């Protein structure tokens, strides 16, 4: 999204063709990469220290679905852009039957086992990403 902002300060988001009161805009369980690395490190460290950790699959996410609109607004804010616009494009037909409009990690098992309940917010994560991209010349 960040590298696709044009001079007119627009971000394009796919419109949900099935949008209704029951199924609103598309949402994802966005997580900042540092939180993912921290969780993986915690799991590896605890597995080495304790033999009581239950073997199995542990989800890594925040447990909270956030809209693409929220991410777009966080990008606009991080870039300090004014007069911004979100443009809704039709979902490509090839994706309509297979696209997941809502993803949200069930974090009950992970949070119970590893006591992690706080994650980097969308706004802070995007600010860190924007700062990194400016530093490396990507934007």
Between the CA atoms of 37, 118, 73 and 20, what dihedral angle is there, to the nearest 10 degrees?
A: 110
In angstroms, the CA 74 to CA 128 distance is: 11
Helix (H) or strand (E) holding 88: strand 85-89
Q: What is the pTM of this model?
A: 0.83
Q: What are the boundaries of each domain within the chain?
A: 2-18+25-135
Alpha helix locations (H) across 1-139? Answer: 33-49, 68-78, 93-96, 108-114, 122-135
Phi and psi at 90, nearest 5°, equal -65, 140
Predicted confidence pLDDT, tens digits, the chain (139 residues): 777 787 789 888 888 776 665 555 789 999 999 999 999 998 888 877 766 677 789 999 999 999 998 999 999 999 999 889 888 888 888 988 888 888 999 999 998 888 877 899 999 999 999 999 999 999 8
Name the CATH architecture for the domain at 2-18+25-135.
3-Layer(aba) Sandwich (3.40)
Task: Report the pLDDT value the prediction gives residue 20, as an integer from 0 to 100.
Answer: 61
In angstroms, the CA 117 to CA 63 distance is: 9
């Amino acid at each position: 999204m960040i590298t696709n902002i044009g001079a007119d300060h627009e971000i394009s988001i796919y419109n949900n063709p099935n949008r209704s009161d029951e199924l609103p805009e598309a949402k994802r369980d966005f997580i900042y990469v540092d939180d993912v690395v921290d969780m993986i490190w915690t799991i590896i460290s605890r597995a080495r220290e304790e033999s009581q950790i239950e073997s199995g699959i542990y989800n890594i996410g925040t447990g909270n679905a956030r809209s693409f609109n929220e991410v777009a607004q966080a990008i606009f804010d991080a870039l300090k852009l004014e007069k911004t616009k979100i443009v809704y494009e039709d979902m490509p037909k090839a994706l309509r039957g297979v696209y997941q409009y809502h993803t949200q990690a069930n974090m009950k098992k992970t949070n119970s086992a590893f006591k992690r309940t706080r994650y980097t917010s969308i706004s802070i994560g995007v600010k860190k990403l924007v700062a990194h991209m400016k530093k490396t010349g990507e934007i």
